[in-house]
Amino acid sequence: MRVGIISDTHGGLKAWEEAIKGPFEGVELILHAGDLLYHGPRNPFPKDYDPQTLAWAINHAPVPLLIAKGNCDADVDQLMINFPLQSPYVYCFIDGLSVMMLHGEEQDVEDLLELGGRYQVNLLITGHTHRPHLIERGPLVLLNPGSPALPKEGPPSLAVLDTEEKRIVLQDLGGEVLKEVILKI
């Protein structure tokens, strides 16, 4: 199974559309680590900022979404999105892989690695920083896919998980690989 992993779209319609038509083409599930619609008071407007149309596009995604609530996601956003987005944590099993996802605004990398170890997950996904990283610590991989709409370091980015190959690819919206790892399970 191919799984698209994204975070921090912040109302950026063009970033979502590029993800769906590009790297996420053929995925069977999308994991979103929060901050879907609102750009937040500290962020500039993303290119093609259109939270209402982005909500429509998310609701009409070609595959299901699992979403962790971000610090910019409000209760009113749930009125616009047909997928649950009020849970701060998503914990799931995908083809034998244990995955935990949260926005991660209160934790640093060491705290997140400790959390992933405590829950014995194979993959811990976060967002919030808009800075992509892919860190291996034993059997745990910590992934922040960055942001396709408001990147703070490097190009607009996201990730794709291939559960058959146990491979996670962190990439830009054009599909250029920034980093990849193989899960050790």
Q: What single-letter DSSP state applies at residue 170?
A: E
pLDDT of residue 52: 96
Mean pLDDT of 80-85: 96
pLDDT score of 107: 83
What is the C-alpha to C-alpha distance for residues 97 and 102, in angstroms, rounded to an integer?
16
With pLDDT > 70 as the criterion, what percentage of the chain qualifies? 100
Strands 89-94 and 65-67 come out as unpaired
Percent of the chain whose predicted confidence (pLDDT) is above 90 = 91
Q: What is the pLDDT of residues 53-69, one digit of tens each?
A: 999 999 999 999 999 99
pLDDT at 8 over 90: yes
Q: Is the pLDDT of residue 98 over 90?
A: yes
pLDDT surpasses 90 at 70? yes
pLDDT of residue 46: 86
Among candidates 157, 95, 89, which has minimal Cα distance to 119? 89
Listed residue (26, 94, 96, 104) closest to 62, CA to CA: 26
Summarize pLDDT for 145-161 with one digit per residue, the tens: 999 999 998 999 999 99
Q: Look at residue 185 in the predicted model and tell me its pLDDT.
A: 81
Please report the domains of the chain, with CATH numbers, ordered by start residue. Answer: 2-182 (3.60.21.10)
The per-residue pLDDT for 16 is 97
For tokens 């979502």, the residue is 16
Cβ neighbourhood burial of 140 (10 Å; 0-12, 13-18, 19+): buried
**Mean pLDDT for the chain overall:** 95
pLDDT at 174: 92
pTM for this one?
A: 0.96
Residue in 48, 85, 68 with CA at minimum distance from that of residue 7: 68
pLDDT in tens, 100-144: 999 998 888 999 999 999 999 999 999 999 999 999 999 999 999
